[in-house]
Amino acid sequence: MNLTTPHINRLVVIGLGLIGGSLAAAAKKRNLCNQVIGLARRESVCQKAVQLDVVDSAYLSIDKITPPLGKGDLIFIAVPTLSVKRILQDLKGKVSDDVVITDGASVKGSVRDNVIDVFGQEMPNIVLGHPIAGSEQSGVEASNPELYEQHRVILTPHAGNTQYAVELTRDLWLKVGAEVLTMGVDDHDAILAATSHLPHVIAFSLVDTLAHDSQNENIFRYAAGGFRDFTRIASSDAIMWRDIMLANKKSVLDSIDLFTANLQRLRSYIAEENEKEITGVFTRAKVARDRFTKMLSNQAYSKTMSEKNIIYKVAPGGSVKGQIRVPGDKSISHRSIMLGSLAEGVTHVEGFLEGEDALATLQAFRDMGVVIEGPVEGRVTINGVGLKGLEKPAGALYVGNSGTSMRLLAGILAGQDFDAELTGDISLSNRPMNRVANPLREMGVIVETEENGRPPLKIKRGSAIKAIDYQMPMASAQVKSCILLAGLYADGETKVSEPAPTRDHTERMLRGFGYDVKREGDTISLTSGGKLTATNIDIPADISSATFFMVAAAIAPGSDITLTHVGINPTRIGVINILRLMGADITLSNEREVGGEPVADIRVQYAPLKGINIPEDQVPLAIDEFPALFVAAACAEGKTVLTGAEELRVKETDRIQAMADGLTTLGIQCEPTPDGIVVTGGEMNGGTVESFHDHRIAMSFTVAALRANAPITVNNCANVATSFPNFTELAKSVGISLEVNIS
């Protein structure tokens, strides 16, 4: 045991209902105190509490406790909110200031006022708190020693509390399994009004409304699951909830007013048969609720999904066979949402990638008021708002792991009449953003970043945006796209020159939306003042996702795989060119154009690979494919040398180092260089490798197992969901023996 942990001598629980009884029972079961004592108003409750082993002893009055309470003892007041004052009056003069007092009332402002009324001030030994663990059950019989496991307890200490009092209280809650949060009294009451008190008001009121209806018998008889789910909390303790509403009157009234105004607005949408706005309300609500459900099912009280270690364990050997379609192209999915939102009219998208990155972009536009339906099986409908129709989001736009979302959105936000902030996860928060911030600054936009140009990005509208002629220092489609998108709002012609060709989906899609984009040599330009006209978009399968299966077939003897409907945009086919140079057997068939993007079916049959010097002009055309190509190099005969690829060091992780580390663990000889790597093909062992939370590293090592002589375990694979949510299912379907474990 930690010796500095405060220790409770006697725990006195006043009020032996669900909340008090459960804490007493939890403390007793876990042996947290020398004695657990209950106080109740009725003898029968005291007897029951002892009988049920909820407390060691129980009394009707505090005077019965001997010796009197003192240092090391803790009182937990667990009576209805409006009864707390009576208890405080009772305690005054009877317990010394050494006794720590806490409570469990649902409203904190009223209890704070009670303390001041009774004691003349906030007290150093009184720490207010609120366990968020109620249920519609009540009474000592409902006491449950596990009630607080993985539930939140909010403490609202004040500046004058002793550290001892706060620690003793916090420690008790932690030891019964709760997660303890701290916040101010007023914040607590406002949050609880919105998340708990308002739902109770609505449930009570709805059931009361229907109960008064002359048809109520029928209504209740035929009421389906929705009614039952929605109104469950209307059978909560009526008096307790009445008191909570009165104790938190101001915040509850504010919440009711906000809700009433929104309900009125929804009423008018329905009256006007305004399908778009009704869809907007319902889709936003659905997304929010789905996210919440996911949080709950992941027990996100403590950990989010990406904090969990998802481990792939892949059996060695085997081959891949079959015909599959991998999910939609990530780059095109992002752009479909962006341009669809900025267009005039309704855009229908098919083949949208339902991965976390593209969904982050979708959510960002919902947050800016765009009504977007779906995605449902890759179909998305975007009700465009026009170039100037975005609304200021309520808070920062969170784009998770997605560099494309952040950099392209920066360009779009530069043209808006509101200030905005872009934030991301830990990996994204370490990626360079000056590459977009600097050219935007040249355009007259105020962009603030953290040190060294790291996110969050704060984009503030300065004066009008100036059109610029920008020579990109690095070959980056994200930077190019950012500037072109900002150029839609600039004063004249914006030009971007690229040092080497990079993916041109932005240019192609802008043209698809009817916007004139010119290309002369390595310079792309557009002039502001035009508009985007809604269109339909069919997104091909992502060649970057197909790559893992192309490499799988290229390295595993006996393989023969066909990947259908894959985008083969000339700015993306470096992987095909490089694998062919290494000797891979790749055939394209069924070549056609879909919505401005070329697509084909790609067949790869096993053939032995040899090491090559990768031509530098292929590097930007295969930039996301190198982790998988390094695996191909490890399985090739001889050395493969990559140069001119320093950009790999600033992807979701440093992909040169991450792959070198993992391949070395597997017994492959690698020499990383500042701008590339030398990989010498050879026998591959099994082992445990790190993905460094990078989706492409995780998938690359998964396919590597096909050529390993023992199992490969890949750590931290949760982010595979950013680009390839059904990777493991497809991998298994073509013959990779893969087990997914979560720790």
Is cis: bond before 67, omega within 30 of 0? Answer: yes
Cβ at position 481, least distance to ligand S3P in Å: 6
Instruction: Give whichever of 425 and 624 is closer to ligand S3P, judged by the CB atom.
Output: 624
Cα 516 to Cα 116: distance, rounded to the nearest angstrom: 69
Tokens for 682, please give them: 């050879």
* 704 in Cβ contact with 677 (< 8 Å): no
- Tell me the closest approach of the beta carbon of residue 712 to ligand S3P, in angstroms: 24
Report the residue number, 112 or 696, with the smaller CB distance to ligand S3P: 696
- Tell me the closest approach of the beta carbon of residue 494 to ligand S3P, in angstroms: 17
Ramachandran region of residue 91, left (φ > 0), alpha (ψ -120 to 50) or beta? Answer: alpha
Q: How far apart are CA 334 and CA 380, in angstroms?
A: 12
Tell me how far, at minimum, the Cβ of 647 lies from ligand S3P, in Å: 6
CA distance readout (Å), 624 to 360, 633, 659: 19, 15, 13
- The torsion defined by the Cα of 400, 403, 405 and 410, in degrees rounded to 10, comes to 120
Nearer CB in complex with ligand S3P: 542/601: 542
3-state secondary structure of 681: coil
* Residue among 148, 169, 150, 172 at smallest CA distance from 158: 169
Q: Is the Cβ of residue 335 or residue 461 nearer to ligand S3P in the bound state?
A: 335
3-class secondary-structure state, position 223: coil
Residue 44 makes CB contacts below 8 A (sequence gap 6+) with: none
CB 143, min distance to ligand S3P, A: 54
Question: How many Å apart are CA 717 and CA 735, to the nearest integer?
Answer: 19
Give the integer Cα–Cα distance in Å for 578 and 557.
19
Q: Are 330 and 359 in contact (CB under 8 A)?
A: no
Nearer to ligand S3P among residue 481 and residue 564 (C-beta): 481
By C-beta, is 161 or 476 nearer to ligand S3P?
Answer: 476
Question: 312: how many CB neighbours lie within 10 A of its CB?
Answer: 26
The one catalytic residue in 624, 654, 661, 694 is 624
Of 476 and 702, CB closest to ligand S3P: 476
Chain residues that interact with ligand S3P, rule: CB under 6 A: 331, 404, 476-478, 481, 503, 623-624, 647
CA–CA distance, 481 with 609 (Å, rounded to integer): 36
Provide DSSP, 315-383: -S----EEEE-PPBPHHHHHHHHHHHHHSEEEEEEES---SHHHHHHHHHHHHTT-EEEEEETTEEEEE
For ligand S3P, the closer of residues 45 and 358 by Cβ is 358
The whole-angstrom separation of Cα 332 and Cα 595 is 11
Structure tokens at 708: 């390993």
257 is catalytic: no
Q: Which is nearer to ligand S3P, 179 or 647 (CB)?
A: 647
- Least distance between ligand S3P and beta carbon 325 (Å): 20
Min separation Cβ 616 and ligand S3P, Å: 15
Alpha-helix runs per DSSP H in 513-594: 543-555, 574-581
Residue owning tokens 């790291």:
454
Query: For residue 529, how many other CB atoms are within 10 A of its CB?
Result: 11
Residue 485 CB, nearest distance to ligand S3P (Å)?
11
Shortest distance, CB of residue 358 to ligand S3P, whole angstroms? 10
Tell me the pairing of strands 585-594 and 597-605: antiparallel
- Nearest distance, CB of residue 700 and ligand S3P, angstroms: 14
743, HSE (Cβ side, Cα atoms, 13 Å): 6
Please confirm whether the linkage preceding 674 is cis (ω < 30° from 0): no
Q: Which is nearer to ligand S3P, 234 or 721 (CB)?
A: 721
Cα distances from 499 to residues 156, 427, 521, 570, in angstroms, run 57, 27, 11, 16
| Residues annotated as part of the active site | 624
